[in-house]
Amino acid sequence: MELMPLHYVFYFGATPDKVWEGLVSVESNRIIYGGATLETDLRPGGFMRYVGPGPDGTPVTYVQFGILEIEEPKILKYTFAMGQSPLKSRVTVELIPETEATKVVVTHDDWKDGDEKTRTACADGWPRILSRLKTLVETGTTFKPH
């Protein structure tokens, strides 16, 4: 069964530079991802990964990325794998300046057979992550429930 790509378009009321900073900064990612630490080597062939405490308190890699293409502040393309999974998909994030905003286009594709669970989690996760990022970039904070 072929897994269909995920595709999202958001408009951020900020410059591409500010959106880019939100995408790759350690601090904004700590806020967006509930305290996970973002480790990066932002260059083609480099990596990004989210690390945090596992059930026993020792550090665990939650998600890892292999940088395929990077052109600040326009495009970030990377492989995506949950934890230590050998199954990798591909994410392309494009930042397109518009008159009044930055158009953020995320395409998550190249899913492998057997990766249905990860695709389902990402289909739920991407809108949440992009909404948090949009709010953070535009207001400097994220929504906190009462």
Residue 116 has pLDDT above 90, yes or no: yes
Asked if 50 and 41 count as a contact pair (C-beta separation under 8 A), the reply is: no
Q: Calculate the average pLDDT of the chain.
A: 93
Residue 146 has pLDDT above 90, yes or no: no
Compute the average pLDDT of residues 9-38. Answer: 93
How high is the pLDDT of residue 145? 56
Q: CA 55, CA 8: separation in Å to the nearest integer? A: 32
CA distances from 8 to 11, 34, 92 (A): 10, 22, 11
Asked if 111 and 6 count as a contact pair (C-beta separation under 8 A), the reply is: no
- Omega prior to 73 cis, within 30 of 0: yes
* pTM for the full predicted model: 0.92
pLDDT band at 141 (very low <50, low <70, confident <90, very high): confident
Q: State how far Cα 122 lies from the chain centre.
A: 10
How high is the pLDDT of residue 142? 79
pLDDT band at 143 (very low <50, low <70, confident <90, very high): low
What domains appear along the chain, each with residue ranges and CATH number? 6-34+71-139 (3.30.530.20)
Of 96 and 83, more confident = 96
Q: CA 98, CA 87: separation in Å to the nearest integer? A: 35
